[in-house]
Amino acid sequence: MKVVTLASGSKGNSTYLETDSVKILIDLGLSLKQIEQKLEVLQVNPSSIDAILLTHEHSDHIKGVAFFAKKYGAKIYAHNLLWEVLQNKLKDKAVTNKIVLFSDDFIIGDLAISSFELPHDAVYCVGYSFINDGKKISIATDLGHTNSRIMEKLKNSTLVILEANHDEHLLRNNPKYPIYLKNRILSSKGHLSNITAAETILELASYNVKQIVLAHLSEENNAPEVAYNTIKKFLLEKGVEEGKHIFVDVATQNKIGNIFNLK
Ligand SMILES: [Zn+2]
Ligand SMILES: [Zn+2]
């Protein structure tokens, strides 16, 4: 199984995942042109994408989905509660390609997928776990906090793509952000901070997780080195060494991330 973040952050998200028989995108919050360019860099034919799995209805996750599905025929997968709002947001442009999920667990080709609800200010927001050939990849971004139900899903993952949205100090002191927006981001249904991500990673380290990719970093209230250094320091204080006990990579807004080829 292979995974790579194509874009990650408040301005647009998309992750590419492939197995021997399936190619999928998780979210498509980029323009059609942007996603076409990124897939070209990876030498992936857009017509070979089987499915796009959506996490929730915010535009940084769905912007290009209807256009891409219409042009290339990929099926759009989303939970039935999410479809109730998507119907409007996508203006039915891709209705023929629509797969409505009524169950948390489903299969696409040789990929076993499990979705789980995340606490976020959306109608219905999910994370996903993907299992193939004894490896497990999990994605959890856009969540205000974690709980035992989410941790249960993430544990024993070979790789976890986890949100580290903001540095709380930078956010609280950002003069450009109105107070209502700060409160929304900081709330239990907002986004994980670097510290809450670090706490989650510490727990995951005790559940056999060895590779983390920090994701959905705010360009305004965070930076790759700030997130990485904060988390590395936090872990080290608890006796977990980055690069030895666990590996932490950072996904960014504009660059295609590192390709993780899990064998
Ligand atoms: Zn988002
Ligand atoms: Zn969101």
pLDDT in tens, the chain (263 residues): 999 999 999 999 999 999 999 999 999 999 999 999 999 999 999 999 999 999 999 999 999 999 999 999 999 999 999 999 998 888 766 567 899 999 999 999 999 999 999 999 999 999 999 999 999 999 999 999 999 999 999 999 999 999 999 999 999 999 999 999 999 999 999 999 999 999 999 999 999 999 999 999 999 999 999 999 999 999 999 999 999 999 999 999 999 999 999 98
The residue range of the domain holding 187 is 2-261
**CA 23 – ligand 1 centroid, Å:** 22
- Ligand closest to 119 (CA) is 2
Quickly list H helices, 94-244: 148-154, 168-172, 179-186, 194-205, 224-237
- Ligand closest to 253 (CA) is 1
**CA 122 – ligand 2 centroid, Å:** 7
CATH number of the domain where residue 125 is located: 3.60.15.10
Q: pTM for the whole thing?
A: 0.97
**CA 261 – ligand 2 centroid, Å:** 27
Among 72, 70, 60, CA closest to 29? 60
State how many domains the chain has: 1
